[in-house]
Structure 1
Amino acid sequence: MKGIFVFLCSSIFLVLVGCTEDSSEKVSNELENKTKEQQASLEEYQDDLQKAEEKNRQLANELDTLKNDNEIKNSELQFKSNKINSLQALLQQTYEVMGNEIGENKAFKILGLFKPESITEDSQVGAVTVQNIKMEKQNKEIRRYRIDFNGELELTGTVRLDEAHGGYVFTVNNKHFNQVPHTMYDITNGTISFKIKNEEAFIEALGEDLSIGEIKSIHAVFKNYNSVYIAESHSSDYATFVEMISD
């Protein structure tokens, strides 16, 4: 009887040991799998982190490039501004010297410059003649004027459809500055531009209808130039298109 009891106890012990070993192996496997999963997650996280760092470096480089481009553009704008100021000062000096040497009226004719406060009808400015002057003043300050010129202007330059001006705008080639009536104020931006009055005739002669922002070089004749100024307002000079010139 005692032998049977010992046998049963031994059997139970072996079963318990076996179960314990199975349980330990299962726990060990679970821990190993969890460790592998955590390792995979860590590697994935490190990969994502590396990609994020690379993206940050790329964005930083792009930002540096944009800053450099902006500095270059600012430098170019400053250079252009200085050039325009120098040109304006030179023109003003030339105007004054010529005015003193040959008289204001002859200087008007040669340079195409005029002073709204002193211009008179029948005086010649550039390639055209003053036909009519309408001017309003307030406390001796000019608030608005329209000066009509008689004569034709054969010009080269560029034309564009300008949304701000509400139509076709012609920008005069620099070599023709002295032909077109303008004030010192008109050339502060380094260009002389005017709106084309009879757009339908112009588009027909151009042979195409330009899209907004599109620019085309042309050689054309214009007439009835009008110089317009309205204080504290966006105003445009304008002229009537006559014909295209084939180069």
Structure 2
Amino acid sequence: MTFIQMLLLAIVQGVTEFLPISSSGHLILLPVFTGYADQGPMIDIAVHVGSLLAIITYFFRDVWSLGKGGLATIGIGQAPAERRLFWWIIIGTIPAVIVGLFLKTGGYLDGFRSTTLVGANLIIYGILLGIADRFGRQVKSFEQLTLKDGIIVGLAQAMALIPGTSRSGVTMTAARFLGYSRVEAARFSFLLSIPAVAGAGVLIIPDLMGASTELLKEALITGALTFVAALATMTFLMRFLRKASMMVFVVYRVAMGIALLTLF
């Protein structure tokens, strides 16, 4: 890949991963509109790892608390509240892990790289996001996370493995339906993504072992560029949600979905 292609991938991923408009869908569409060769699943995961590092950086205090909860689980320190949240996040990650393993081992991931599927999912899940944001209460914070909420949002996250759904979008939708505020829904969504995206990174280790030096170099550069774009986007989104609704993202999703279904 050229540097321009890697830069475009990083910007698209860094911006769309945290806005509820489907990063995987945009990554699939990028070659369609630019004429570049499809970057493939390995580069897709590399840019997601760049996004993961941005999440850890932005939410460092929350990640530190969850880390304390993980240590308390194995008997190191006393942090009952953090330990509870740690386990709810882990349990909420299990559905995505199971579905991800099934899709990878079954060879179904490439079959999902369809513009028609992306367009339909942009519309369907965009409308659901609008309904949740319009009618969902804003009474819960991440610290009030329960096992039931973790499982429900975790099941929603598993659905996001299909491009066009949007991992952040569908988890924020579920969280808003459950009564979390917009900012807390985003915070919940991003923290829940940490083990899921980390797990996706682990899954490609066997592929990385056999990858060419050039592909590894491209993955590292694109991931690093994504980190910068993602950190800037996350900072913007968290400030935006304190003042505005998610309706602008709903309109964008539906309009883009209709355009894709019409053009392709």
TM-score of the superposed pair, with normalisation by structure 1: 0.26
- Identify the structure with the greater strand proportion: 1
Structure with higher Rg: it is 1
TM-score of the superposed pair, with normalisation by structure 2: 0.25
- Identify the structure with the greater helix proportion: 2
Structure with bigger RCO (C-alpha 8 Å, 6+ apart): 2
